[in-house]
Structure 1
Amino acid sequence: MSETVSYGFQEVAPEEKTRRVGSVFARVAARYDLMNDLMSGGLHRLWKDDFVRAVNPRGGERILDMAGGTGDIAFRMAKRGAQVTVADINPAMLDVGKERAAKRGIEGLDWSEQNAEVLSFESAGFDGYTIAFGIRNVTDIPAALREAYRVLKFGGRFFCLEFSRCEWPVFADVYDAYSMNVVPKVGKVVARDEEAYQYLVESIRRFPDMSAFRSMIAEAGFAQTTARPILGGVVAMHSGWKI
């Protein structure tokens, strides 16, 4: 990893990014759904449904949902009978997820505080690894991808849902203007945290495009990698197999 990494549009030391990102999500944990609604116009709920259909979790499978603290993906997969471990580096996010699960009567989930770059799980222990709207916040993304590969069984699958770069020319301009100029201001009014939302929209701009990220997944060892744009690339779904 280089001496500096991107924190939004800033270049900072790796440990500083980890600290700042942790602060952002500790502050917005209770408003995480609101955050995603503001950034996606509410469409993140449909995207997550589509994502879980692609993962196709089956009864008895062990799936690690990384950066999944509030449970949005895990709840959907648990309904299909999968044994889901919800992992997140941020305890505040996990607390929100546990509270939401209790209110919904969802049982059987394992909750684990984990750094995606250095997982404590044994090798080849999971049938699937999912991460939704979390990979761009990881300080050392290649390390996290290598860890995803390590903890998967042979034949296991990796799925990632993340904001990306829109490839529709006119719509891309509209979306960029909305996200950069409107989302932080709305975040200031509604969530009382403009800085957190400013980082989140900037982090999307600094994240690798679909082709580059697909190459990163392959470099971690995954085969049959795919990249599927959603809404012209506002969001992308990536996948790969450990074979």
Structure 2
Amino acid sequence: MRHLVTSYLEDHDIRAVSTSRRDEVSGLMARSQPDLVVLDLRLGHDDGLDLLREIRAQSNVPIIITTGQRRDEIDRVVGLELGADDYITKPFGLRELLARIRAVLRRREAGQTNSPRDMEKGRYRFGDWQLDRRTRLLTNSGGEPIALTKGEYALLTAFLQAPLRPLSREHLLQATRIHEDVFDRSIDVQVLRLRRKLELDPGMPSIIRTERGVGYVFSLPVELV
């Protein structure tokens, strides 16, 4: 299957290298400097989530994870939380894989194009919080920094750009640049994680409220400074 995927990608003008051994990954990354990684979470006998953590700690390269069927749903959610850009379940069609690769690369290119403009947008202030768009740093009323994952930052930015308005899950999926086919629960997971960092009581949220039948509402006024 690995050789089949590699050959198919090369037939469509994408240079590809592959390995089935985890101990070869770091060397391949260093030599090839890939634009994107397709990572099987069942690589060999190793835990692919650990490998995902290692890659993400060293590089911001886009990553598409591949998993099995429903029994691997938890791994898919964790993979997205750890910074994977998309996922595809096995068995998958080669045309779908190619489409997802191209979609992730387009999103990355668009993000790089927009990054200089984004860096000039200053800071968002809401309640006792402040988010610096240039450094992507969230601080509380005491000036203490709060770490955000890539997904949490994208989601928070989407809320801050449309405060006091009900936002659908579909809108949030698009705003956070997650692939259209990623199930809606991935947004619910990100909202839960963001609530744990912003809310006094995540079980009774007052900042990110659930709008039944619609999605979510960011209930604080937001000031751009």
Higher helix share: 1
Higher relative contact order (CA 8 A, sep 6+): 1
Structure (1 or 2) with the larger CA radius of gyration: 2
The question of a shared fold, defined as TM-score above 0.5 by the shorter chain, is answered with no
Higher strand share: 1
